[in-house]
Amino acid sequence: MKKIKKYFKNFSFDKVIKSIKKYDYKKNLKINILFVVTVISLLLNDVILRMVTVGNFLDIKPLLGSLSFILLILAPSYLFKPKNQIFYLLIISILLTAICIVNSIYYNYYLSFSSFSLLKTSLQVIDVADAVTKNAMELKDFFFVWQPIVILFLYLYLNHQNYFKIFKKDKSRKKGFITSVLISIIIFSFFFVSLDSLEKSRFIKQWNREFIVMKFGIYIYQLNDAFVNISPKFNSVFGYDEMSKKIKTYYESKEQTKTNNYTNIYKDKNIIMIHAESMQQFLIDLKINGVEITPNLNKLFHSGIGFTNFYSQSGVGTSSDTEFSLNTSLLPSTNGTVFISYWDREYIAIPNILKEQNYYTFSMHGNKGDMWNRETMHRTLGYDRFYSMKDYEIDEVIGLGLSDKSFFHQSVEKIKEIDQKYEKYYGTLIMLTNHTPFSEVDKYGELNLSLEVEITNEEGETEKVIRPYLEGTFLGDYLKAAHYADAALGDLIADLDREGLLEDTIIVLYGDHDAKIPRKEYNYMYNYVPQTDEFLTELDEGYVLFDYYAYELNRKVPFIIWEKNMKKPLQVDKVMGMIDVLPTLGNMVDFKSEYSLGNDIFNIEDNYVVFPNGNWLTKDVYFYNKKQEFKLLSETAIISTDYIENYTKKSENKLEISNGIIIYDFIKKSKESLEVLESNKR
């Protein structure tokens, strides 16, 4: 630091320009081989990361951004003696290489990039290590380690050649520091000027991470992410007034709740929520070899109110995001996860609303209580009690914890006690067995996923052969896990019925999020030809293109409201998200939240779903935020530029309002302000 102060004590821009003109660049390159190679190799790692993730490795903008960052962060190496320069360069190389490795692994699983806000969340990885190893880590993720290895070997080679002794007394290195900083600033200036208003806006908001990496490079993204995650500590103090106005304006303009044919039909009923781990909508009515994959889920769906276009809206907090959004009708935080980072805020949630109506509220889960910080966060949401692994006999373990069948069987006994003690109750049962990596197939029961087909052999005779088909595939293992979870669900309904617990109760089942099945696995469902044991290609007739949009639309999950002997089963095809559960169910049971972001699905004609990454969905369009493009879902719809701009603006507004409520603890602060106002009146 003293050296830096010394260099800039008598700083003069004219002197610097003259110095740069006199600077011997040929000689500088010759005496700074290690520095130059470090710059180029780190830049190459950035290019490789974008190539294997977002795919725009030839774009000049992120190249300029990353180059300016690399030059700036490596410039202080000039302040070290030539032989000691390696220590600084190697430390920076290892740090930036680690950023590439972590983000490559993270992208495999979440199709997004990691954040400093997720450092607390990363501790959850210990509990799902098998899933990360099997589903997220790939050999390519560790390719980036070549960079520090090359730097180290280059140093050893140069040292062997007495390179550092030759240039030990060279004085021009002092100018190298200033020159590198200035070149970095110049390159960044060109980079900044090339950005349009949309790119600058996305950079500031930071919630579309893929877009930022695509346009700014991984290093600038991670630097900006660090600032974004520090800023809430200041924003919660200094930015509250401005955000408060935005939030109040939003809810003042929001349409008021209306009554409809479903108003209060379940008032004072017991409510059992079933959190169906990784259950996806495409499983419903799916058959392999004539066998239903989810027969019990099918029955509930077709004999209750089944929603065919329901989406999870979860982010990096996966299951915990779903629990938060469903209970509060707010979107997940775009910085970290609410359960980990914002558990100490005040929220209006279904459990604490129903407690005011004399409901006993509880949640049950066959895993550890500190997973996703549930033990603490469930109290924040208003659950009277959270039953975790310590409250169960762990007599059968499948995957991450207690098997669903044992969990449900033991939970029914606990619900019986609750039913006898309390007049009415709201409980959430969180399933577990159907959690990735779906590897314990020997415990899931029998489900044959091979196919018997007739083929004509070389002699022209017809013979029967067995194709493995889905056996041993990721998709096949998932189907077996889901088949087991469905059987456990059937046992639960039967046990509840036998104990008389369905008589004055509604069952609400929701898939918490999709199973994160690799897109290529769906080729087995759409393009596999059992007769040839091969896949159709794009050139073949009948080939089904399962692209990004098909994959995203396929991520929808079940949402079912069911009661025993329902007289009028119903299927609802409107697009719907997790934040719509509170207002929809609330209208049926008679509760509401003044800070709900969702809609009662029976009160709105054209609903839309906002995702944490800025994508949005209507009945006519799926909008891909990162690429600013969309897929038309209706052949008859005519979509204008105004239509796209309108829904994009509304979606961004919802994300901003939800983040504002969470980060600023708006509900608590507004309540405190109201109390002060009432006190002053008195």
The partner residues of 152 in beta bridges, in order of sequence, read none
- Residue 630 scores a pLDDT above 70: yes
Q: Is the peptide bond before 612 cis (omega within 30 degrees of 0)?
A: no
**Average pLDDT over the chain, rounded to an integer:** 88
pLDDT band at 272 (very low <50, low <70, confident <90, very high): very high
Give the pair of three-digit tokens for residue 83: 């032989």
Average pLDDT over residues 144-165: 87
Task: Please compute the mean of the pLDDT values over residues 416-434 and round it to a whole number.
Answer: 97
The more confidently predicted of residues 237 and 507 is 507
Q: How far apart are CA 510 and CA 310, in angstroms?
A: 9
Residue-wise pLDDT tens digits, 461-509: 888 999 999 999 999 999 999 999 999 999 999 999 999 999 999 999 9
Our CA angle for 251, 253, 257, nearest 5°, is 75
Contact 312, 322 (CB under 8 A): yes
479's tokens = 């189907």
- Per residue in 93-114, pLDDT (tens digit) is 999 999 999 888 888 876 778 8
- Secondary structure class of 565 (helix, strand, coil): coil
Q: Are 102 and 250 in contact (CB under 8 A)?
A: no
Rg (CA), the chain: 29
Residue 418 has pLDDT above 50, yes or no: yes
Q: At what angle do helices 146-160 and 85-110 cross, to 10 degrees?
A: 160
**Contacts of residue 350, Cβ cutoff 8 Å, sequence gap at least 6:** 326, 327, 328, 381, 382, 426, 582, 585, 586, 591
User: What is the structure's pLDDT at 59?
Assistant: 85
Q: Which two tokens stand for residue 21?
A: 């003109």
For position 164, what pLDDT does the model report?
Answer: 73
Query: What are the pLDDT digits (tens) for 31-45?
Result: 678 899 999 999 999
Share of the chain above pLDDT 70, in %: 88
Of 74-78, 204-208, 272-276, 529-533, the poorest mean pLDDT is in 204-208
Phi, psi of 55 (to 5 degrees): 85, 5
Instruction: Give DSSP secondary structure letters for 281-292.
Output: GGGTT-EETTEE
Instruction: List the chain domain ranges.
Output: 2-238, 266-441+474-613
DSSP labels, 221-265: HHHHHHHHHHHHHHHHHHSHHHHHHHHHHHHHHSPPP---TTTTT
Overall pTM > 0.95: no
Instruction: Specify the pLDDT at position 127.
Output: 53
Q: Over range 536-544, report the average pLDDT.
A: 95
Q: Which is more confident, 116 or 306?
A: 306
Interior angle at CA 434, CA 431 and CA 439, nearest 5: 145
pLDDT category at 653 given cuts 50, 70, 90 is very high
- Over the stretch 48-66, which tens digit does the pLDDT of each residue have? 999 988 887 778 999 999 9
For domain 266-441+474-613, the question of CATH label 3.40.720.10 is answered with yes
pLDDT interval class at 126 (50, 70, 90): very low
CB-based burial label for 492 (10 Å; 0-12, 13-18, 19+): buried
Region 110-134: what's the mean pLDDT?
A: 60
